Structure 1
Amino acid sequence: MQKWVVLEAKRLALNPGINMKAIAFQLGCEDVAYFSKFFKSCNGTSFTEFRKKII
Protein backbone atom coordinates (compact mmCIF):
# COMPACT_ATOMS: atom_id res chain seq x y z
CA MET A 1 0.00 0.00 0.00
CA GLN A 2 2.84 2.41 0.83
CA LYS A 3 4.48 1.84 -2.54
CA TRP A 4 1.21 2.66 -4.29
CA VAL A 5 0.78 5.91 -2.33
CA VAL A 6 4.33 7.03 -3.15
CA LEU A 7 3.97 6.04 -6.80
CA GLU A 8 0.67 7.91 -7.07
CA ALA A 9 2.17 10.96 -5.34
CA LYS A 10 5.02 10.94 -7.85
CA ARG A 11 2.57 10.70 -10.73
CA LEU A 12 0.50 13.59 -9.38
CA ALA A 13 3.65 15.65 -8.77
CA LEU A 14 4.12 15.84 -12.54
CA ASN A 15 1.20 18.27 -12.67
CA PRO A 16 2.48 21.67 -11.48
CA GLY A 17 -1.09 22.88 -11.00
CA ILE A 18 -1.64 20.60 -8.00
CA ASN A 19 0.11 21.52 -4.76
CA MET A 20 1.39 19.10 -2.13
CA LYS A 21 -1.57 19.74 0.18
CA ALA A 22 -4.05 18.78 -2.53
CA ILE A 23 -2.07 15.66 -3.39
CA ALA A 24 -1.91 14.61 0.27
CA PHE A 25 -5.68 15.04 0.68
CA GLN A 26 -6.35 13.22 -2.58
CA LEU A 27 -4.33 10.25 -1.33
CA GLY A 28 -6.22 10.16 1.97
CA CYS A 29 -3.76 11.93 4.23
CA GLU A 30 -5.30 14.80 6.18
CA ASP A 31 -2.01 15.88 7.81
CA VAL A 32 0.33 17.46 5.25
CA ALA A 33 3.30 17.34 7.64
CA TYR A 34 2.81 13.58 8.06
CA PHE A 35 2.54 13.14 4.29
CA SER A 36 5.77 15.07 3.81
CA LYS A 37 7.64 12.95 6.37
CA PHE A 38 6.15 9.76 4.93
CA PHE A 39 7.17 10.69 1.39
CA LYS A 40 10.71 11.54 2.48
CA SER A 41 11.11 8.31 4.45
CA CYS A 42 9.89 6.19 1.51
CA ASN A 43 11.60 8.10 -1.28
CA GLY A 44 14.78 9.40 0.34
CA THR A 45 14.05 12.96 -0.75
CA SER A 46 11.41 15.50 0.17
CA PHE A 47 8.37 16.01 -2.02
CA THR A 48 9.49 19.54 -2.88
CA GLU A 49 12.98 18.39 -3.89
CA PHE A 50 11.50 15.56 -5.94
CA ARG A 51 9.18 17.96 -7.73
CA LYS A 52 12.01 20.38 -8.50
CA LYS A 53 14.00 17.55 -10.11
CA ILE A 54 11.21 16.41 -12.41
CA ILE A 55 9.84 19.78 -13.50
Structure 2
Amino acid sequence: MVYCCEEHVEVALDTIVDEYETFPQLAKIEEEEKLSTTCEYCRNPATYVVSNV
Protein backbone atom coordinates (compact mmCIF):
# COMPACT_ATOMS: atom_id res chain seq x y z
CA MET A 1 0.00 0.00 0.00
CA VAL A 2 1.37 3.39 -1.05
CA TYR A 3 0.05 6.76 0.07
CA CYS A 4 0.63 9.54 -2.45
CA CYS A 5 -0.28 13.07 -3.43
CA GLU A 6 -1.82 13.92 -6.80
CA GLU A 7 1.62 14.69 -8.24
CA HIS A 8 2.96 11.18 -7.53
CA VAL A 9 -0.03 8.99 -8.45
CA GLU A 10 1.65 7.63 -11.59
CA VAL A 11 4.81 6.75 -9.67
CA ALA A 12 2.77 4.92 -7.01
CA LEU A 13 0.80 2.99 -9.65
CA ASP A 14 4.06 1.93 -11.34
CA THR A 15 5.52 0.88 -7.99
CA ILE A 16 2.60 -1.45 -7.22
CA VAL A 17 2.69 -2.96 -10.71
CA ASP A 18 6.46 -3.52 -10.49
CA GLU A 19 6.38 -5.01 -6.99
CA TYR A 20 3.27 -7.19 -7.17
CA GLU A 21 2.78 -7.71 -10.93
CA THR A 22 -0.94 -7.09 -10.56
CA PHE A 23 -3.43 -4.39 -11.45
CA PRO A 24 -3.35 -1.68 -8.76
CA GLN A 25 -6.39 -0.25 -6.96
CA LEU A 26 -6.62 3.51 -6.53
CA ALA A 27 -8.75 5.02 -3.77
CA LYS A 28 -9.16 8.59 -2.60
CA ILE A 29 -8.32 9.16 1.07
CA GLU A 30 -11.17 10.35 3.31
CA GLU A 31 -10.90 13.89 4.71
CA GLU A 32 -10.31 12.78 8.32
CA GLU A 33 -7.41 10.53 7.27
CA LYS A 34 -5.70 13.31 5.30
CA LEU A 35 -4.67 15.16 8.44
CA SER A 36 -1.92 12.73 9.40
CA THR A 37 -1.19 10.91 6.13
CA THR A 38 1.67 12.11 3.95
CA CYS A 39 2.90 11.23 0.47
CA GLU A 40 5.62 8.59 0.57
CA TYR A 41 7.58 10.41 -2.14
CA CYS A 42 7.50 14.06 -1.12
CA ARG A 43 5.86 14.26 2.36
CA ASN A 44 3.04 16.53 1.14
CA PRO A 45 -0.47 15.61 2.33
CA ALA A 46 -1.56 12.36 0.66
CA THR A 47 -4.64 12.36 -1.55
CA TYR A 48 -4.71 8.74 -2.72
CA VAL A 49 -3.85 5.26 -1.54
CA VAL A 50 -2.66 2.77 -4.14
CA SER A 51 -2.75 -0.92 -3.24
CA ASN A 52 -2.65 -4.40 -4.72
CA VAL A 53 -5.80 -5.63 -2.96
TM-score w.r.t. the length of structure 1 is 0.35
Where relative contact order (Cα < 8 A, 6+ residues apart) is larger, the structure is 2
More helix by share: 1
Q: TM-score, normalised by structure 2?
A: 0.36
